Structure 1
C-alpha cells in the first residue's frame, strides 16, 4: 500500500514566477492582483510661517531650529544665550557678549529660515 503525499491546504501560494496564485487543494486557480508597493519614508513638509512663529515666540529656546530639525545648532544657541544671561546676572559683565552673539545668530536666522525649511522638506 502506497501513501499519496498530501497536497497543501487551500490558500494563496507563490508560483514559479513570483506571483501569488490560489490553490484550491486540487488545481491552481487565479493569480492575485499585484499589490502596490510604497518605498521610502513619508516626506513631511515644514511650514515657513510656523518656523517664523516659533522664532518670534520661542526664539530664546531655539524652537524654530528644533522644528526645522537643526538640533545641534539649537542646542548651541540655547547654551550660548542662556549661559550669557545667567553669568551676566551673576555679575560678570563681559559674558553679556555671549547673549549678544546668540541674539545676532537669532537675527540672522530671520533670513535663513526659508532656506532651512526648503532643505528640511527635501
Structure 2
C-alpha cells in the first residue's frame, strides 16, 4: 500500500470531515461510511432536534481523528 499525505488528509478532514472523506482517503471505508451516515442523518433530522445527538457523537469522533490521522496515513488499510 502507498503512504497517504497527512496534509491532504487534514484538508479533507477540515472541509469534508462530517462526510468521513478523510477516512475513505486513508482506507478506512467502514468507519467512513459510519461517519457519512451519522453526518447525513444528523443534519437531516436537526429540524426535529433528534439530529443533534448523532452530530454530537460525530463531532467528538472528529476531534479524536485529529490525533489519529497521522497514524492512519502511515498505516493505510
User: What TM-score, normalized to structure 1?
Assistant: 0.58
| Greater per-residue strand proportion | 1
Count of residue pairs the alignment pairs up:
77
Higher RCO (CA < 8 A, seq sep 6+): 2
- In structure 1, runs of 5+ residues without a counterpart are 1-42
Q: CA deviation at 1:95?
A: 3.2
The ranges of structure 1 where at least 4 consecutive aligned residues each deviate by more than 2 angstroms after the TM superposition are none
Structure 1 CA distance for aligned equivalents of residues 39 and 58 of structure 2? 5
Deviation string 1:72-98 (CA, Å, 9 cap, x unpaired) is 000001111221221122x2x243111
User: What TM-score, normalized to structure 2?
Assistant: 0.89
1:50 aligns with 2:50: no
Highest Rg: 1 or 2?
1
- CA RMSD, Structure 1 to Structure 2 (Å): 1.4
